[in-house]
A = this chain, B = another copy of it.
Amino acid sequence: MIYRRMGRTGLQLSALSFGSWVSFHKQIGDATANELMSIAYEQGINFFDNAEGYALGESEKMMGRVLKTKDWDRSSYVLSSKVFFGWRKENKPNQTGLSRKHIVEACHEALDRLQTDYLDLYFCHRPDPAVPIEEVVWTMHNLITQGKVLYWGTSMWSGAEIMEAHRVAQQYRLIGPVVEQPQYNLFERMKMEQDYLPVFQNVGMGTTIWSPLAAGFLTGKYLQGMPEGSRLGLEGFEWLRDRWLQEEKIAKLKKLNELAVELGVSIGNLAIAWTLANPNTTTAILGATRKEQLVDNLKALDVLPLLTPQVLARIDEIMGNKPFLNLA
């Protein structure tokens, strides 16, 4: 396993990490979760990602139960949660969003569900335009002061929103966000490769990217249509299906596959490795639901050395979506 410093912090994350997003509780039970987390841990993965909103809190409870069965040092892994969406079926005012009241209460609830004393990472799962960023920064800072959180970050915020958080942190001399969890894969490049550049350059930031495989689309299993039981067939995820199953994208996929074959690797591992080739990526979160899948994904680390400037240029040509940097 490779470990990388998370942005300008001293925290080291494994370059590949393990997330529970659409899998825990919805697709897999405690036994499988336990098996997958064990493999991940043994292979050197040290970051387990979670959120209050995943399966309405059930995902955190499951991860908490699994961790309870282990004799792993608490210091040997990094645990996250995220606040924004709430976990109740019907949320009242102040039970979602980024008000101080919700962040504080959600943190306490997440600690309970995960059965731990502190979160290593705590993310604002979305920006909340109805709450001043000042209130968010102060609240996260206070949770760090109280020892309940070690580092805080953002997820799916714009570059301007992240910079505003840093401006406020500067103004009040507070601890600002140090990590962002964006979507990043061969089809979604704008945020990581353009919008965040002034952030990376001026204040620094780690990234724990999600969906490196574009919800499985980049595994190649959709080259010939959609199989039964795959994530894209789950109820509530139709929007993912519509977005990807377009002819143009299938065409690009086929060319990528040819390149993968040429390199002697799977298209999925090529796609994962490609996200790691971006020096601003700290870790790519894997969402495997089966043992074989996870073991296979881990081989992406072996593909990384194959991504020479020449290969990366060919990928850019195939995708045709490299952001144009207007450097005048």
Task: Decide if A210 is an interface residue (CB 8 Å cutoff).
Answer: no
B101 and A78 contact, CB distance less than 8 A: yes
Interface stretch, picked from A194-202, A223-231, A300-308, is: A194-202
Q: Mark A50-92, 1 if CB is under 8 A from B, else 0.
A: 0000000000000000000000011110100000110010001
Task: Decide if A95 is an interface residue (CB 8 Å cutoff).
Answer: yes
Contacts of A236 in B (CB 8 A): none
Interface size class for chain A? 35 or more
A198 and B11 contact, CB distance less than 8 A: no
Q: Mark A116-154, 1 if CB is under 8 A from B, else 0.
A: 000010000111111111011010001011110011000
Q: Mark A160-202, 1 if CB is under 8 A from B, else 0.
A: 1111101100111111000000000000000000111111011
Task: Decide if A31 is an interface residue (CB 8 Å cutoff).
Answer: no
Known contacts A9-B135, A10-B130, A160-B199; 7 further A-B pairs (Cβ under 8 A): A11-B99, A11-B100, A12-B94, A75-B94, A75-B102, A127-B198, A142-B147
Interface residues, chain A, with chain B CB atoms under 8 Å away: 3, 5, 8-12, 14, 46, 73-76, 78, 84-85, 88, 92-95, 97-102, 104-105, 120, 125-133, 135-136, 138, 142, 144-147, 150-151, 156, 158-164, 166-167, 170-175, 194-199, 201-203, 326-328
What are 26 A-B pairs at a CB distance below 8 A? A8-B132, A9-B99, A11-B100, A12-B94, A14-B93, A46-B92, A73-B88, A73-B92, A75-B102, A76-B95, A78-B94, A127-B198, A127-B328, A129-B197, A129-B198, A132-B202, A145-B146, A146-B147, A158-B194, A158-B195, A159-B160, A163-B163, A163-B164, A164-B199, A170-B170, A172-B173
